Structure 1
Amino acid sequence: MPEMYSKWVACWGNATSITDRKEATYAKDLTLRYPIRACFSGNKLRFHFSNLTGTEPVTISEAYVAKDVPTPITFGGHTSGTIPAGEEILSDEIAFDVTAGETLDVSLYFAGFTQMNAGTAITGPLSGGKYSYGNFAKSAELPDNLTRKTNWIYFLNTVDILTEEKNFALVCFGDSITAQDWPDYLTLRCAREGFNNVAIIRRAVSGTRILREYSCITYAAYGLKGATRFPIEMNVAGARAVIVQHGINDIIHPVGVEVNKFRPWSDMPTADDLINGVRSLYITHARKLGLKVYSGTLLPIYGWRTYNENRDIVRMAFNQWLRTAPEFDGCVDFDKAVRGHENPKAFSSGFDSGDHLHPSARAYEAMAECVPEELLT
């Protein structure tokens, strides 16, 4: 092993949560392929696979990583591996030369009936994959007539690379805002501006809340609450810091049982509830891991279908704490980067995706641009 490669660092990663409960929850004879951008050079890889939210074991029949010629991913020397229900597994270390900037394809094949209950949906210019009916895990190209694109990342949770000591990971923790585009734009910014020693690791699930989670299949894909997610998702090799941008769903979800029996008003938090949740669930655990913790302010919600003044009062009070609390190492003021000048309760012109909650592509780029350089060097 060259001495220059001595440190394991996560170079790609996502959360694993409960997938959306549609009519079909099983697959068979299925190939998944995910492109992985390598931000570091190195000479070994290892792969984390998660069945955290599955209720049955999942067997990966074959797995490969490829630039040109596919290299088998093995598990205890075997070409197949089983992920127990509710658990995560780590592959063998795979000798594989990587040059920073290359894109690797990770292909997984599932021969038997497989419960597709563990994964997460992500978007962005670097995100997504493909699936094919049949075993094409070793094929250079997937057949067009049997293949479709997907934004669901199933089972593949994190990719680590054996790399140089100077390299590190920055974790982006949150909900749908972070499951969407800004972490990808931050990765592209790092490449463009020469921040070559940092990997942006996304740990985000659409719909999740800090304080609560749903127990019905209608909202199951909104995922696990912060107390459950955070300790699991901070398992990131080489992590130096985490940006926490979480809490808007706690504020916007409750509507009362007369409107939706799964969303009682008793779920509605105060700003102090959110503050205490972040302190006890996130900051305390991150400090135990030796991580720096940066807050991320919550974005405008004016015009969202459940908007009212009381919700915005909670959001703004929580944001004020996120900006000023001495418990943090700093604040990434996403709200300031995307809000309007004339009406700061709303998105700036061109920054609203149209639903008054999620940013537009331009706004996601602005979010990436506002991340301080101190987090990237």
Structure 2
Amino acid sequence: MNHTTINKPDTWCSMWGNAVSIAEHRPESYAKDITLRYPVYAPFDGTSLRFTFDNYCGSEPVSITKATVSVADFNTNSDSAPKINLSCPQKKSTTTQITFWGNPSVTLDAHKRIVSDEVSFQVQAGQTLCVNLYFADFTLMQSAVLITGPLSKGFFSLGDQTLTEDLPLDTSKTTSWFYFLSNIDILTSSDNHAVICYGDSITAQAWPDELTLRLRREGRKHTSIIRRAASGTRILRQYDCITYDSYGLKGSNRFLHEIPAAGADTIIIQQGINDIIHPVGTDINPFRPMSDLPTAEELIDGLKWYTDQAHSLGLSVYIGTLLPIEGWRTYAPFREELKNKVNEWIRQADGFEGCIDFDLAVRDSTNPAAFKAGYDSGDHLHPSSAGYKAMADAVSLRFL
């Protein structure tokens, strides 16, 4: 009997991604003659890459003078996050120019995004790539997102360092702000797929990275975790003042811009706590009126709208419960009651594919309003490292 091996065709799949939000307004919001270097974990083998650069939240055009991609020159093959020193070394022999309609530079108009040319580049699963962006002229550094986690670390350096193997220590610094680079697609096996994690600061912090590391440890090689999260964001409201504009856009202004991703078939949504804890009254804060406080029904309607939009894009929807908040500086029993009503609806999983009970994974068994011992970062809102690992462990692998 003849046995014929059928090779599945390659397809584009997102292998890395972030939301696009608004960098905090500072007097020094412009940069010049600066290189950004972002180490990016590659979950899949692939033969080509394409890069999305997004100025969605910028108020004026931005010119990228030069962009390159290289293989990182440090150990990335263990099941833990790589240790990256300030030089963030890359292998110069692998450095490849990123182009735009054949040109080495590109201008992003305000509120617009651009996808690069397809870049022929051999990628091995488990590698870390270094993406370099150089800005020669004064650039408004406004379209950005603040991201942290074991796989989320950036660097900036003075001068054009796009081709440099090691960043110069005296003129380089780490950053947790990711500017303009919002997505990387890889031409890879059609067996591979992407899962989107959508939310606020809790998702902008470590649990998506911990989920990626969990997949590595367990040998599950066909799923990328794409993070679309921005700190301070709410489902129903946004701030239109420079005091809080870094808290980003409301759901109706974010969701449909962020969610489409090549190869994605699933989305995990974990958002709503900021809608509950932010309003305090104009006598305390002029930008946070109590009229911003939603009802449980309004928050649930917002989650239903997310679900409808995601389903229209062919995505399966899993919604995560809201985490404990007892001890947070605006904590009050009425906020606890509101949170619990929303969680009760999420646990019913009516109209979407399933609930991920993050709250149950991190709360104290004797006092469910509070974090379990060791799972609180200390602010009574964001989990500790152990808490984020528990969140990652709470995600069922049946769709990963």
Sort the TM-score into its range (normalised by shorter chain): over 0.9
Which residue of structure 2 aligns with residue 332 of structure 1? 356
Which residue of structure 2 aligns with residue 55 of structure 1? 59
Partner residue of 2:300 out of 275, 279, 294: 275
Which residue of structure 2 aligns with residue 356 of structure 1? 380
Distance 1:311 1:229 in 2: 25
Contact 2:12-2:186 at 8 Å conserved across structures: yes
Partner residue of 1:211 out of 223, 233, 236: 236
Which residue of structure 1 aligns with residue 88 of structure 2? none
Contact 1:172-1:201 at 8 Å conserved across structures: yes
Aligned residues with identical type, % of pairs: 54
Partner residue of 1:149 out of 174, 183, 199: 174
Distance 2:373 2:219 in 1: 30
Which letter maps to 1:57?
P
Which residue of structure 2 aligns with residue 341 of structure 1? 365
Contact 1:31-1:109 at 8 Å conserved across structures: yes
Q: State yes or no: 1:220 paired with 2:224.
A: no
Q: Deviations over 1:99-126 (max 9, x none)?
A: 1001100000000000000010111100
Runs of 4+ in 1 over 2 A off after TM superposition: 2-5
Q: Deviations over 1:173-221 (max 9, x none)?
A: 0000000000000000001101110000000000000001000101000
Contact 1:5-1:43 at 8 Å conserved across structures: no
Which residue of structure 1 aligns with residue 264 of structure 2? 239
Q: Secondary structure at the match of 1:160?
A: strand
Task: Give the deviation of 1:3 after TM superposition.
Answer: 6.2
Distance 1:29 1:251 in 2: 42
Distance 2:33 2:194 in 1: 35
Q: Deviations over 1:137-162 (max 9, x none)?
A: 11111000000000000000000000
Q: Secondary structure at the match of 1:97?
A: strand
Distance 2:39 2:8 in 1: 26
Distance 1:55 1:294 in 2: 34
Q: State yes or no: 1:79 paired with 2:83.
A: no
Q: Secondary structure at the match of 1:227?
A: helix
Which letter maps to 2:343?
N
Contact 1:178-1:204 at 8 Å conserved across structures: yes
Distance 1:186 1:102 in 2: 17
Q: Deviations over 1:275-324 (max 9, x none)?
A: 011112x1111011010000100000000000000001000000010110
Contact 2:325-2:380 at 8 Å conserved across structures: yes
Which residue of structure 1 aligns with residue 390 of structure 2? 366
Distance 2:238 2:9 in 1: 41
Distance 1:104 1:199 in 2: 15
Contact 1:65-1:73 at 8 Å conserved across structures: yes
Which letter maps to 2:395?
V
Which residue of structure 1 aligns with residue 153 of structure 2? 128
Q: State yes or no: 1:7 paired with 2:24.
A: no
Which residue of structure 1 aligns with residue 117 of structure 2? 92
Q: State yes or no: 1:37 paired with 2:61.
A: no
Contact 1:27-1:113 at 8 Å conserved across structures: yes
Which letter maps to 2:43?
C
Which residue of structure 2 aligns with residue 255 of structure 1? 280
Q: State yes or no: 1:16 paired with 2:12.
A: no
Which letter maps to 1:240?
D
Contact 1:4-1:163 at 8 Å conserved across structures: no
Distance 1:367 1:5 in 2: 34
Which letter maps to 1:204?
A
Task: Give the deviation of 1:24 after TM superposition.
Answer: 1.0
Which letter maps to 2:253?
T
Cα distance, 1:5–1:145 mapped onto 2, change above 3 Å:
farther
Structure 1 unaligned segments of length 5 or more: list them. Answer: none
Task: Give the deviation of 1:4 after TM superposition.
Answer: 4.7
Distance 2:360 2:148 in 1: 23
Trace 1:276-291 onto structure 2 (pairs within 5 A): 276-280=301-305, 282-291=306-315
Distance 1:344 1:375 in 2: 28
Paired residues, what number? Answer: 374
Which residue of structure 2 aligns with residue 177 of structure 1? 202
Which letter maps to 1:339?
R
Task: Give the deviation of 1:375 after TM superposition.
Answer: 2.2
Q: State yes or no: 1:313 paired with 2:333.
A: no
Which letter maps to 1:125?
P
Which letter maps to 2:385?
A
Q: Deviations over 1:63-95 (max 9, x none)?
A: 000012210000000000111100110000000
Contact 1:5-1:42 at 8 Å conserved across structures: no
Task: Give the deviation of 1:23 after TM superposition.
Answer: 1.8
Distance 1:23 1:297 in 2: 38
Which residue of structure 1 aligns with residue 85 of structure 2? none
Cα distance, 1:61–1:147 mapped onto 2, change above 3 Å:
same
Distance 1:205 1:130 in 2: 19
Task: Give the deviation of 1:235 after TM superposition.
Answer: 1.7
Distance 1:77 1:139 in 2: 22
Contact 1:302-1:345 at 8 Å conserved across structures: yes
Q: CA RMSD in A?
A: 1.0
Which letter maps to 2:362?
V
Distance 2:398 2:282 in 1: 45
